[in-house]
Structure 1
Amino acid sequence: MAVDPHKHCPICGTPIPLDELVCSPDCQKVWDARLSQTKRSRLILYVVIAIFLIIWAVMTFMK
């Protein structure tokens, strides 16, 4: 009554083999879109932090 080793698709939860990332091309599209959005969000965060630090440095050293 043992279950074969497997993992679940991070998009829909369907059981998949250990060597696969997602279960279907549709889930792959969703996965790629999420990955792209995550990268974009991180880039925006880094840019906002850099702008804040530049403004802070200018305000601190220009007194």
Structure 2
Amino acid sequence: MAVEPHKHCPICGTPIPLNELVCSPDCQTVWDQRINQQKKTRYALTGVIILFLVIWGIMQFMK
């Protein structure tokens, strides 16, 4: 009794074929929202790091 090769939907855990990303349009919507949130978080973190470096650089030259 071998199980066909498959993977599971990262949103709901339903078994799906290997060539699919998610199992349904509802899960695709959730997946897209998660990706967009990750992008926003990454941009915000990059902005905070750049702001910190600019402030640090200004403080170094003001000594």
TM beyond 0.5:
yes
The 5 A counterparts of 1:12-51 are 12-51=12-51
Deviation at 1:26, TM superposition (A): 0.1
Output the CA distance in 1 between the equivalents of 2:39 and 2:4: 34
Output the CA distance in 2 between the equivalents of 1:29 and 1:15: 18
Three-state SS of the structure 1 residue aligned to 2:36 is helix
Output the CA distance in 2 between the equivalents of 1:61 and 1:8: 54
Deviation at 1:40, TM superposition (A): 0.2
Aligned pairs, number:
63
Identity of aligned residues (%): 70
Structure 1 stretches of at least 4 aligned residues deviating more than 3 Å after TM superposition: none
- Specify every segment of 5 or more residues in structure 1 that has no aligned partner in the other structure, as ranges: none
**AA aligned opposite 1:4:** E
